[in-house]
Structure 1
């Protein structure tokens, strides 16, 4: 799905400008927020505060700090889709069940635990060269605490719909390996 101009987040565009200008000092300052409560790394304020609403909004402010620190960890351009899509791509390249366990942990986590779970997810994506759609992530995190959990449900749909072809292929290979020798030849000829 192509991103429209309305989907672009001005704050994320600001982060992308820092990356594109190769402002290593800014990205280093933003990375100092990793593993800390959002907003507690004073070095980040210079780059984040100008983008916050005048009236404090705790969750929105926390999302700004969280996305800034995670972006600085893995600023690779070119991401598309939700975090569920990104982690499905990681799982497809590794085949590791641990990716799915971490993803389920992310879906189930409370907002207070989100920084830790997202840092793990972004680190996995970085390790496997899977870019993140930072505009989408920013928008999704703004809705993380919605009572309907629509963000978590969409991420789950994205993750398991992308991993389904891999699971089906593995299932077919497993079924074929268990079939008697003659049945394997017939099965291949019938395809």
Structure 2
């Protein structure tokens, strides 16, 4: 009687790639061309209506979005494409990390990035906190013009931006500003303090209160 060979376990289904991640990968690819990178960079901080040189590269990514929120989504795509194109050379030479955590909320949002900047001495804590609290009160139209300078400061300090997370947060900002701003602030204070695993509330003793 021969030993039976156990059946090979089925591989887990591949996790679908988010549209935002595919878009970011696309922008990285086309930015290999100096001409394309220059065209996309011309849109830094500008409304879509003043980004005529970007349309040929980005319009195909926006055709499926509904009209009601199309403006917010479109501006987010254009903003992130221009920010990627405007990366300093040190950041352009860095290969994007495709091994993102399974959970979307484990990925670095803008609050995490500012927290890293404070922890590394790239920014002062009062400057980072002021920037976050100001953005939490603003519409996306007010946030976009200030992003190029802030992102350049982070990247010049060696902080790696998760562009897909920034893209989705910007696209949803006007609809879910309070939720996103709260997530940014929570992430900032965890990261700036150097802890991502604080003690649960029910573990606090009477002497700690």
Name 1:146's counterpart in structure 2. Answer: 175
Name 2:11's counterpart in structure 1. Answer: none
Aligned residues: 161
Give the SS at the match of 2:46. Answer: coil
| In 2: Cα distance, 1:165 partner to 1:67 partner | 28
Unaligned runs of 5+ in 1: 167-191
TM superposition score normalised by structure 1: 0.74
Higher percent of residues as helix: 1
Matched, 1:17 2:59: no
Q: Rate the CA distance shift 1:35–1:92 in 2: closer, same or farther, 3 A.
A: same
Name 2:84's counterpart in structure 1. Answer: 71
Unaligned runs of 5+ in 2: 1-14, 101-106, 196-209
| In 2: Cα distance, 1:7 partner to 1:128 partner | 28
CA shift for structure 1 position 126: 1.6
TM superposition score normalised by structure 2: 0.68
Matched, 1:161 2:190: yes
| In 1: Cα distance, 2:117 partner to 2:28 partner | 23
Q: CA RMSD in A?
A: 2.3
Alpha-carbon contact 2:48-2:75 (below 8 Å) kept:
yes
Counterpart among 100, 106, 120 of residue 129 in structure 2: 100
Alpha-carbon contact 1:85-1:158 (below 8 Å) kept:
yes
| In 1: Cα distance, 2:175 partner to 2:136 partner | 13
Q: Which gives a bigger RCO, structure 1 or 2 (Cα 8 Å, sep 6+)?
A: 2
Q: Rate the CA distance shift 1:58–1:122 in 2: closer, same or farther, 3 A.
A: same
Matched, 1:27 2:37: yes
Alpha-carbon contact 1:87-1:159 (below 8 Å) kept:
yes
